[in-house]
Amino acid sequence: MSLIDYTIAQLQTQLRSGKISAAELCDAYLARIASVDGEINAYLTVAAESARAAALAADRDLAGGHVRPLTGIPLALKDIFVTKGIRTTCASKILTDYIPPYDGTAVQRLYDSGAVLLGKLNMDEFAMGSSNENSAFGAVRNPWNRDYVTGGSSGGSAACVAARTALASLGTDTGGSIRQPAAHCGVVGLKPTYGRVSRYGVIAYASSLDQVGPLTRDVRDCAILAQAIAGYDPLDSTSVNAPVPDYLASLEKGVKGLRIGLPREYFGAGLDPEVKSALEGAQRVLAGLGAEFVEISLPHTEYAVACYYLIATAEASSNLARYDGIRFGLRVDEGEGLNALYCRSRAAGFGAEVKRRIMLGTYALSAGYYDAYYLKAQKARTLIRQDIIAALDQVDLLLAPVAPTPAFRLGEKTADPLQMYLSDIFTIPVNLAGTCALSLPCGFSAGGLPIGMQFIGRPFAEASLLQAAYAYEQATEWHQRQAIL
């Protein structure tokens, strides 16, 4: 078995027993990155020197009996997390040379758990996209077929796990940006409840929607990584001071007796037949394990995409106002005055999709339009949240597709933003509601591309998601398949 084929759970045993050293594990992953990432383009920065130093420190800790949950485990981060001394670009020209002076809370918690950081990962610029084609540094390509997208915006975070160039990664999910690439790349992705994981040190896109979560090879690894990053943080005013359960403790309880809701609005027109067939197969497996299925309705689902693209763009317009060419970031100054400096710097620094969303958001917030658009979208958001919470009062979990189709070809939807936005139709409602959801593999298309399903749970019910996902995973073999590189 190659070093890059072990899971986190397996490596915890191997490292602690001394059968594998953290240094040789780190070197194996750095060699893998050098060998295959040219085909995938998942990494924007490889932190080889600091990774090797951290691995050597991990070996000293292991030798001295100072063992932490992630000691010596090589991970990678979406390039939206600020990392002290390591370039952080958000895949944008405007932050090409930005070196943060501090680590964000999620990053610090990984370090505190003993993790080794391999590098920073490609993404849609400022997390705005559903295919990872909006990066200023080129698209990420799907390890299962390099002519296809990975999904976005955490495309690099999913691709590196599928390509085995990192053991696991962190991403962010604003409208599906963990779950959708996880589905397209055949890995597990968890979007925790809003407030469960600190956003301090995460470059903001839409502050009321953004959430941090893990992408891993299997559900047990997802639980381990979620445990490491979850919990209250006084540095984040939206962090919730609620106890974090032991996610591993309930992992093997199974699904017997669980009531699982099937939202009828998610299984109608527009759902690819192969995706529908994969979900029906998953339903049969879960029923065989003792789960009970109930059809439920989420009647305001049809408003989710329009609602999201008003709220998210409005918040982006505000958050991205700080990139002005003065405080930090790219500066284009030809001595023509302050307004010219702003305009030239932002025009040169932002890509087309980021500009589109800033303009949409600015328009929605402008005088005379605020009530008609932004305020109405907030009212619709309340209705969407009420639908989901009411449904989860009737059942334990919801089962739904992650994306309407398997991964599509690179370039297929770039000329039609609306079609691209509709890729997130099944993931956006969870972000608007602020609750939790988990994507995991449930099949493959005829073309050999992964298909994912998602469990949606009550607020702070991540343990239930992991429990149901683990039961399904153990009864199937989809997670055992590997992309050939």
Q: Where are the domains of the chain?
A: 3-255+463-480, 302-373
Whole-number percent of the chain with pLDDT over 90: 93
Question: pLDDT per residue over 103-131, tens digit each?
Answer: 999 999 999 999 999 999 999 999 999 99
What average pLDDT is seen over the chain? 96
Instruction: Give residue 336's pLDDT.
Output: 84
Superfamily of domain 3-255+463-480: Amidase signature (AS) domain (3.90.1300.10)
Contacts of 10 (CB under 8 A, 6+ apart): none
In a 3-state reduction of DSSP, which class is residue 145? Answer: strand
For β-strands 397-401 and 450-457, DSSP reports them as antiparallel
Count of all residues that appear for the chain in the document:
485
What distance in Å separates the CA atoms of residue 262 and residue 298, rounded to the nearest whole number?
Answer: 10
For β-strands 168-172 and 74-78, DSSP reports them as parallel
Please tell me what DSSP assigns to residue 148: B
What distance in Å separates the CA atoms of residue 181 and residue 288, rounded to the nearest whole number?
Answer: 28
**Which strand (E) or helix (H) includes residue 444?**
strand 436-444
Q: Which residue has the tokens 């932004």?
A: 374
Instruction: Give residue 313's pLDDT.
Output: 97
Instruction: Give residue 327's pLDDT.
Output: 80
Which CB contacts under 8 angstroms, 24+ apart, belong to 478-484? 478/186, 478/440, 478/441, 478/442, 478/443, 478/444, 478/450, 479/186, 479/188, 479/217, 479/218, 479/219, 479/440, 479/441, 481/186, 481/441, 481/444, 482/164, 483/143, 483/144, 483/162, 483/163, 483/185, 483/186
Catalytic residue numbers, as ranges: 78, 153, 177
Question: pLDDT per residue over 376-417, tens digit each?
Answer: 999 999 999 999 999 999 999 999 999 999 999 999 999 998
Whole-number percent of the chain with pLDDT over 70: 100
Contact between 213 and 453 (Cβ < 8 Å): no
Q: Which pair of structure tokens corresponds to residue 394?
A: 């009737």
Instruction: Give residue 129's pLDDT.
Output: 96
∠ CA 58-59-65, rounded to 5°: 90
Instruction: Give residue 334's pLDDT.
Output: 78
Instruction: Give residue 426's pLDDT.
Output: 97
Residue 329 has pLDDT above 90, yes or no: no
The per-type count for the chain, helices as H runs and strands as E runs, is 15, 11
Residue 230 has pLDDT above 90, yes or no: yes
Instruction: Give residue 328's pLDDT.
Output: 77
What's the mean pLDDT in 183-204? 98
Phi and psi, residue 125, nearest 5°: -50, 125
Contact between 126 and 354 (Cβ < 8 Å): yes
Which pTM does this prediction carry? Answer: 0.97
Q: Which pair of structure tokens corresponds to residue 258?
A: 């669980």
Residue 335 has pLDDT above 80, yes or no: no
What's the mean pLDDT in 302-309? 96
Beta strand extents in 125-205 (DSSP E only): 168-172, 188-191
Question: pLDDT per residue over 9-37, tens digit each?
Answer: 999 999 999 999 999 999 999 999 999 99
Question: pLDDT per residue over 413-465, tens digit each?
Answer: 999 988 999 899 999 999 999 999 999 999 999 999 999 999 999 999 999 99
∠ CA 472-474-480, rounded to 5°: 105
Q: Which residue has the tokens 């037949």?
A: 273
What distance in Å separates the CA atoms of residue 358 and residue 305, rounded to the nearest whole number?
Answer: 17
What distance in Å separates the CA atoms of residue 249 and residue 451, rounded to the nearest whole number?
Answer: 28
Contact between 148 and 116 (Cβ < 8 Å): no
Q: How confident is the model at residue 1 (pLDDT cuts 50, 70, 90)?
A: confident
Q: How confident is the model at residue 475 (pLDDT cuts 50, 70, 90)?
A: very high
Question: pLDDT per residue over 210-220, tens digit each?
Answer: 999 999 999 99
Instruction: Give residue 235's pLDDT.
Output: 98
Least-confidence region, from 181-190, 193-202, 364-373? 364-373
